[in-house]
Amino acid sequence: MPQTGLEVLPTRTLYRFEADGVRLGVTFTTPALPHDLDLLSRPVTYVTWDAQATDGKRHQVSLYFDATGEWVVNQRKRQNRYGLPLDSRKGYTKLDWIVWSATMVERAEDFEALVAPVHRFAHESPSRVPLTDWYETTDAKPVGFQARSVVGGVFIKLLAEPQLRRRSRCHAG
């Protein structure tokens, strides 16, 4: 189903798709509310969706969700100097999205290939504001957000691989 829209907001990302008389909306919501630290600390994104007929007919719609990094590996050819764009029609990306997606790949070299541009972004960005999670993959300039808690997503690899957690604790003290 072709993507027809994308809207990135501070706590939500809304995707729109349309084909064969059906319009589908999928929303990813991160409960990042600064006054609720319990909610803010959850590494969770909620997914909601809705479907509407655009042709006046009845349609049966179902969604299949799966978590795999292989689709990201297959998109590496679209990667720009500072990362993999979220959408083929725009050049921006989300820092946490890249690292979370890269963490799901099976091969270490795929992880490195996906994360290396993010490292380059952090070191070469012309912006001197707190680390942004939404930036252009061609020139490393921030698009909007900065200093948000989702940037903590860059540490997901530590949660995914216990041997990295043990090694990082040894170096921390």
Residue 171 has pLDDT above 60, yes or no: no
Report pLDDT for 77.
80
d(CA 80, CA 94): 13
d(CA 86, CA 79): 10
Q: State the pTM of this model.
A: 0.58
| Helix axes of 95-103 and 108-124: crossing angle, nearest 10 degrees | 160
Report pLDDT for 52.
94
pLDDT in tens, 2-18: 899 988 887 788 999 99
d(CA 141, CA 83): 12
Q: Where are the domains of the chain?
A: 3-53, 70-172
Nearest-5° Cα angle at 99, 164 to 160: 35
Residue 41 has pLDDT above 80, yes or no: no
Report pLDDT for 112.
92
**Between residues 150 and 108, the one the model is more confident about:** 108
Q: How confident is the model at residue 167 (pLDDT cuts 50, 70, 90)?
A: low
